[in-house]
Amino acid sequence: MAGNYRNDRALQYIDRPPEDLPGPPPRSCQSLVREAHQKQFWLYDLKVRAWYSPEEFQEKFGRVVSGDEKWLATIQVRDPLEGINTGYLRLQDLEIKLKDFTAKVIQYYRHGRT
């Protein structure tokens, strides 16, 4: 009997349309802040490319309980060291481009306009 129960339970969702299937609980600012605290991470907004500490995010957006799923989907709980490392890589790239451009301008004016 227990075996039949498990089979019935495992098959109960097969014929249901996808919208009827149980899914993960809806995201909320509270759940994102809770997850960030648990992982000791920060929150990153993909749309505006901004980092928020959990406390800062709670203070700024904590009253948004749910309802704006599109916006909440752009918020990620991430390790802030990723942002620091990415920032330094961008700075290095920018420094290389600036040095190349500076050398090009100096050469242009030293050796005449060609």
- Gap between the Cα atoms of 78 and 93, Å rounded: 23
Structure tokens at 40: 């000791």
**Average pLDDT in the chain:** 83
Helix (H) or strand (E) holding 72: helix 69-73
* Percent of residues, the chain, with pLDDT higher than 90: 59
pLDDT tens-digit series, residues 16-57: 555 555 556 667 889 999 999 999 999 999 999 999 999 999
How much is the average pLDDT of 87-99?
96
